[in-house]
Amino acid sequence: MDQAFKMLGIKREEVYIANIVKCRPPSNRNPEEDECTACMNYLRNQVILVKPEIVVLLRKCSFKTYIG
């Protein structure tokens, strides 16, 4: 990701990366819907504090949980 940011002219310190789940599920499996939902308030608070200009959602769990 750092290389992609560099190629786009974006400094790494200008980027804030967060994960929808705050702890990795067992065996590094994809998080289940209830695990994503359980962490949603924490993520909402991160977005409120950081005030990003752009939010990029990667993977099904984050997109489905954040967008609805």
What is the mean predicted confidence (pLDDT) over 49-68?
A: 84
pLDDT value of position 46: 92
Q: Which residues contact 62 (CB under 8 A, 6 or more apart)?
A: 19, 20, 36
> Model pTM?
0.70
Residue whose tokens read 């990366």 = 17
Instruction: Please provide the DSSP assignment of the chain as one string.
Output: -HHHHHHTT--GGG-----SSSSPPGGGPPPPHHHHHHTHHHHHHHHHHH--S-----SHHHHHHHH-
- pLDDT-derived band at 60, boundaries 50, 70, 90: confident
pLDDT value of position 51: 94
